[in-house]
């Protein structure tokens, strides 16, 4: 059993930095769902070296599921809210407001929202 099996990661990401991080989480057993905007991740167009797809995109998004959501649409926003439902009872709007107000999540907020507690504990077991 991998250390992050049973953990769901929902990631709004593109390019290289965040996909690299969530790729490591997927490698450690987490179920990672990559949310892409309707235009898709622009890294898809970096090159066409991997059987017609971007080598960067394929390499950094291995092991992930992907879904396109337009968060300006109510149905897509509800789907996102369902994926992000936490035991805190806070809505996505409330969490987003906290992040927008503070420009970041404190460690306490991330723990409260259930975002990092399991991840940090499990990552300690991973080889570097």
CATH number reported for the structural domain that contains residue 19 in this entry: 3.40.50.10540
Domain hosting residue 72, numbered range: 8-123
Strand 8-12, strand 64-68: pairing = unpaired
**What is the pLDDT confidence band of residue 111, given thresholds at 50, 70 and 90?**
low
Specify if 34 maps to a domain: yes
**What is the pLDDT confidence band of residue 128, given thresholds at 50, 70 and 90?**
very low
Q: What is the pLDDT of residue 121?
A: 47
Under 8 Å between Cβ of 108 and 117: no
Specify if 128 maps to a domain: no
pLDDT digits (tens, 9 = 90+) for 48-61: 999 898 999 999 99
Structural domain count of the chain = 1
Higher pLDDT, 124 or 89: 89
Specify if 80 maps to a domain: yes
Specify if 1 maps to a domain: no
For residue 27, pLDDT beyond 80 = yes
In the predicted model, what is the mean pLDDT of residues 73-86? 78
Specify if 2 maps to a domain: no
Angle between helices 92-102 and 74-84 (to 10 degrees): 90
Nearest to 36 by CA among 76, 63, 90, 7: 76
Order the strands of the 64-68 sheet from edge to edge: 8-12, 31-36, 64-68
């Amino acid at each position: 059993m991998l250390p992050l099996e049973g953990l769901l990661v929902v990631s709004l990401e593109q390019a290289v930095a965040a996909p690299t991080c969530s790729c490591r989480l997927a490698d450690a057993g987490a179920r990672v769902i990559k949310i892409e905007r309707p235009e898709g991740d622009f890294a898809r167009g970096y090159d066409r070296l991997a059987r017609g797809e971007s080598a960067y995109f394929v390499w950094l998004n291995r092991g992930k599921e992907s879904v396109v959501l337009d968060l300006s649409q109510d149905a897509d926003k509800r789907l996102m809210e369902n994926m992000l439902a936490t035991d805190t009872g806070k809505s996505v709007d409330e969490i987003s407001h906290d992040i927008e107000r503070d420009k970041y999540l404190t460690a306490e907020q991330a723990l409260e929202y259930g975002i990092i507690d399991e991840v940090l504990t499990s990552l300690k077991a991973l080889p570097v």
